[in-house]
Amino acid sequence: MSLLDSGTEIITVYPQIRTTDPDGNPIVRTSDEGVQVSARIQPMSTSEDWDQGFQTEERYRMFIARSQDTIDIGIAGQVEWQGVRWEVDALPRLQTGSPRTRHNTYYLRRV
């Protein structure tokens, strides 16, 4: 079994949904309903802005277990992990080299 087939954390994913605004224009927004999935989350970076005080920006890399990675999280999606909301920081990075190494990498930033 690959590390890509399981996760060490249970997270709630709020995927993006396509809808219309009051004027009838199509928009993309975060869903109000979440889905629990298993994922691996790894730290990427932390930055501090000393000019603005002690604000930090944390970024994480997330891999959803492949059996559960059928949700279209999208760029407007959010993740709740350890009681904190995180936004998807970029489009997912698709790894399609072979069936054994296929996975999606998501980048998260604190909301």
pLDDT of residue 51: 62
- The SS3 assignment for 37 reads strand
As a whole number, mean pLDDT of residues 24-28 equals 95
Cα-to-chain-centroid distance, residue 23: 29
Q: 85 or 57: whose pLDDT is higher?
A: 85
- pLDDT tens for 10-22 read 999 999 999 999 9
Query: Distance between CA atoms of 85 and 110, rounded to whole angstroms?
Result: 6
pLDDT of residue 110: 86
pLDDT of residue 49: 62
- pLDDT tens for 64-75 read 887 777 788 888
pLDDT band at 50 (very low <50, low <70, confident <90, very high): low
pLDDT band at 55 (very low <50, low <70, confident <90, very high): low
Residue 101, judged by CB atoms within 10 A of its CB (0-12, 13-18, 19+), counts as exposed
pLDDT band at 4 (very low <50, low <70, confident <90, very high): low
- The SS3 assignment for 4 reads helix
- The SS3 assignment for 22 reads coil
